[in-house]
């Protein structure tokens, strides 16, 4: 079997709101083979930058479009192909969008392998730790503390026993920050876990102050309170408070995760399969976290391709903590793009059992939403 083509498909909702919701557009990767088997992947990044990184022509030996590098390769040789993409894209791909682009292709290759062998990806990775994985409802804050309380109550009514709120309007002032957390807790009641995503809004001293203020509301973790390169600040925060500190969605390969774990001393390592180099790199990051006694959660605020990939990954490692599941009430393209819709039931997600990722595109929806 040989790779014959790589598609980078940019899809976008008709209405895109100016807020931190990466489910409003997507870069889908589809890899084709001469055996008639194709695989799906996704990249959550700057879509057009990733599209260029995949479709670009050969420039020189350290700068080459990823499609050119993988054509003619055997899709089963995922480790070899991963290193070929990395070495052939060093100038633009050691971090950021160029590296993210590798993720989509790697995911698609594992999807191909699973389909060819009739096995789910988690089984190819040697997993099998779970039949179901606990998830949290992931949502943006309401516009006010009171609106957030109402949202929290509705998520509990939908069966979730863990809910995360994040981003605006957190970070405006201490009074608002504390009120948001207080009202979220009131809406959840005392039993459900409350997770807080600060959205990169504070310096280390402010983050320590907020974490201590939030303690009376029993939060499960505090996520990304600092800018991602502030590893010294993360260390100060982690050593100053008892609350779990979670981060990682801004990181890409093992090197940056090592900085986060060893310099930043975070408690929970968040891995986005569509950014970290796909399954091939993600399992190595999880192993490094396991060596350090750290738990792993996924990050994913995009389509069901990402959700499915995360479930395969989390089922293949021993140090899974919890899964992110987008529960935003406003419909985005994720509910139209794939034939399958992965639903949480009683706060749990079932691990896919179908060959490959177990997700297929809705081709009519792709035609409607495709850009260019």
For the segment 264-299, what is each residue's pLDDT rounded down to a tens digit?
999 999 999 999 999 999 999 999 999 999 999 999
Is the previous residue joined to 169 through a cis bond, with omega within 30 degrees of 0?
Answer: yes
Give residue 361's Cα distance to chain centre: 19
Cα–Cα distances (Å) from 99 to 31, 83, 285, in that order, read 17, 12, 15
- What is residue 282's predicted lDDT score, i.e. its pLDDT? 98
Across 78-83, average pLDDT: 98
> Is residue 24 over pLDDT 90?
no
Q: Give dist(CA 4, CA 2) in Å, integer.
A: 6
For the segment 166-222, what is each residue's pLDDT rounded down to a tens digit?
999 999 999 999 999 999 999 999 999 999 999 999 999 999 999 999 999 999 999
Q: Among residues 32, 100, 130, 299, which one is catalytic?
A: 299
Per-chain mean pLDDT for the chain: 95
Cα–Cα distances (Å) from 31 to 7, 104, 106, 112, in that order, read 6, 9, 9, 8
- Tallying the residues shown for the chain, one arrives at 372
Of the given ranges (54-63, 66-75, 143-152, 198-207), which has the lowest mean pLDDT?
A: 54-63
For the segment 103-156, what is each residue's pLDDT rounded down to a tens digit?
999 999 999 999 999 999 999 999 999 999 999 999 999 999 999 999 999 999
Tokens at 319, concatenated = 């140090």
Annotated catalytic residue 130: no
- What is residue 19's predicted lDDT score, i.e. its pLDDT? 61
């Amino acid at each position: 079997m040989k790779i014959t083509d790589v598609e980078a498909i940019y899809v976008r909702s008709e209405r895109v709101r100016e807020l931190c919701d990466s489910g409003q557009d997507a870069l889908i990767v589809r890899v084709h083979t001469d055996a008639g088997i194709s695989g799906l992947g996704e990249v959550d990044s700057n879509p057009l930058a990733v599209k260029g990184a995949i479709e670009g022509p050969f420039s020189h030996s350290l700068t080459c479009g990823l499609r050119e590098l993988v054509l003619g390769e055997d899709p089963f040789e995922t480790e070899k192909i991963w290193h070929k993409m990395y070495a052939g894209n060093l100038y633009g791909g050691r971090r950021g969008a160029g590296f993210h682009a590798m993720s989509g292709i790697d995911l698609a290759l594992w999807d191909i392998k699973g389909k060819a062998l009739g096995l789910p990806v988690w089984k190819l990775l040697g997993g099998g730790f779970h039949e179901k994985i606990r998830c949290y409802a992931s949502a943006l804050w309401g516009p006010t503390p009171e609106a957030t309380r109402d949202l929290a109550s509705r998520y509990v009514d939908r069966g979730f026993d863990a809910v995360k709120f994040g981003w605006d309007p957190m970070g405006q002032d201490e009074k608002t920050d504390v009120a948001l957390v207080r009202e979220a807790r009131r809406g959840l009641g005392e039993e459900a876990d409350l997770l807080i995503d600060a959205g990169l809004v504070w310096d280390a001293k402010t983050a320590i102050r907020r974490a201590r203020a939030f303690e009376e509301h029993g939060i499960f973790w505090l996520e990304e309170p600092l800018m991602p390169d502030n590893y010294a600040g993360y260390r100060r925060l982690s050593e100053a408070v008892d609350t779990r500190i979670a981060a990682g969605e801004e990181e890409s390969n093992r090197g940056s995760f090592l900085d986060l774990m060893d310099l930043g001393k975070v408690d929970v390592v968040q891995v986005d399969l569509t950014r970290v180099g796909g399954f091939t790199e993600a399992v190595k990051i999880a192993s490094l976290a396991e060596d350090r006694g750290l738990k792993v959660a996924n990050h994913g605020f995009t389509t069901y391709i990402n959700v499915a990939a995360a479930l395969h990954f989390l089922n293949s490692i021993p140090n899974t903590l919890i899964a992110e599941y987008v529960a935003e009430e406003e419909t985005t393209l994720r509910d139209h793009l794939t034939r399958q819709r992965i639903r949480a039931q009683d706060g749990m997600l079932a691990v896919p059992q179908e060959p490959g990722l177990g997700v297929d595109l809705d081709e009519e929806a792709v035609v409607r939403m495709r850009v260019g």
